[in-house]
Amino acid sequence: MIKITCFGEVLWDMFPTHEKIGGAPLNVATRLKSFGNDVSMISRIGKDEKGDKIIDFFKANNVNVEGIQTDSSYETGHVTVMLNDKGSASYDIKYPSAWDKIELSETAKSLVKSSDAFIFGSLVTRDDESRSTLYELLPLAKSRIFDVNLREPYYTKDILVYLMNQADFIKFNDEEIFEIAKYLDSDSQSLEQNIRFISEVTNTKTICVTKGRHGAILYYNDTFYYNSGYQIVVKDTVGAGDSFLASLINKLLKEDSPQEAIDFACAVGALVASKEGANPEITEETIASMMGEN
């Protein structure tokens, strides 16, 4: 069984009419576990009801919670989610929250050392403490997967460049890669050229870029693989990219073909966007059905 550790924010998404457990690393961890992987989470929650419910959620989904710390000074994180008329989300992220204060622990080091892959994002680096912990854990990982997640004002060029240079795999959306390529002085308007450019500048061999309803592009072993997306009615986009990443990583770690991996990931991402919230249940049958319609 493949062993994977996710690092970063666990929180509550507060919608206008309801609230749901979320956070990109939590969403990735939950989806990876649904595919039968051995998944652990490193994060931090408050000593409060919302934190207790996150632990209960992970346990119900069989995700290892040994790496989740408890903080008596800071509350469990929450995000105010605003949806436009197309279901696209924008976010107001409470700072500071417990997940900003993840400490370096022997448990965290052990989890990362024993995993086949270590997944982390950029948002967790907004606070010195969690960022320092991440930087200490990165050298311990066998394979480092960087999920770029640009949320203004919580990122800097220097931190992004450092994390990209540490990564074996980087996932962007199309807006993010153009912004970061421009940071690095690329003058190209071509998505493929910018992918190759970042691969060369950061020495990262595998890069994936999501394009919303237009699918995704995967650069793997010097070859591009494409999926043009699946037709769905969007309910909300929260967590769709996270499930996409989890599905892609699941397939690549299991050494399925890159084309099969990106087709599968786009199907899962589309299905999540067609449902409410970040972690809807998705069955193998609905995935197969979606892929058959492409």
The pLDDT tens digits for 43-98 are 999 999 999 999 999 999 999 999 999 999 999 999 998 878 776 777 889 999 99
Question: Per-residue pLDDT for 294 more than 60?
Answer: no
| Mean pLDDT score, 17-42 | 95
pLDDT at 189 (0 to 100): 96
Predicted confidence band of residue 102 (pLDDT cuts 50, 70, 90): very high
Question: Per-residue pLDDT for 179 more than 60?
Answer: yes
Interval 219-275: pLDDT, tens: 999 999 999 999 999 887 878 999 999 999 999 999 999 999 999 999 999 999 999
Predicted confidence band of residue 277 (pLDDT cuts 50, 70, 90): confident
pLDDT at 293 (0 to 100): 57
pLDDT at 276 (0 to 100): 82
Interval 122-134: pLDDT, tens: 999 999 999 999 9
Is 223 strand, coil or helix? Answer: strand
Predicted confidence band of residue 285 (pLDDT cuts 50, 70, 90): very high
Are the C-beta atoms of residues 204 and 169 closer than 8 Å to each other? yes
**Other beta carbons within 10 Å of 281:** 8
Are the C-beta atoms of residues 263 and 218 closer than 8 Å to each other? no
Q: Tell me, what amino acid is at 223? A: T
Average pLDDT, the chain: 95
Classify domain 3-292 by CATH architecture. 3-Layer(aba) Sandwich (3.40)
pLDDT at 106 (0 to 100): 98
pLDDT at 83 (0 to 100): 78
If one compares 154 and 237, the residue with the highest pLDDT of the two is 154
Domain locations in the chain as residue ranges: 3-292
pLDDT at 6 (0 to 100): 98
pLDDT at 87 (0 to 100): 67
Q: Tell me, what amino acid is at 255? A: E
CB hemisphere CA count around 152 (13 angstroms) = 3
Q: How far is CA 242 from the centre of its chain?
A: 5
CA distance 84 to 115: 39
Helix axes 128-137, 106-113, angle to 10 degrees: 40
Are the C-beta atoms of residues 250 and 32 closer than 8 Å to each other? yes
**Other beta carbons within 10 Å of 134:** 24
Buried b (16+ CB within 10 A) or exposed e, 158-185: ebbebbbebbbbbbbbbebbbbbbeeee
pLDDT at 219 (0 to 100): 98
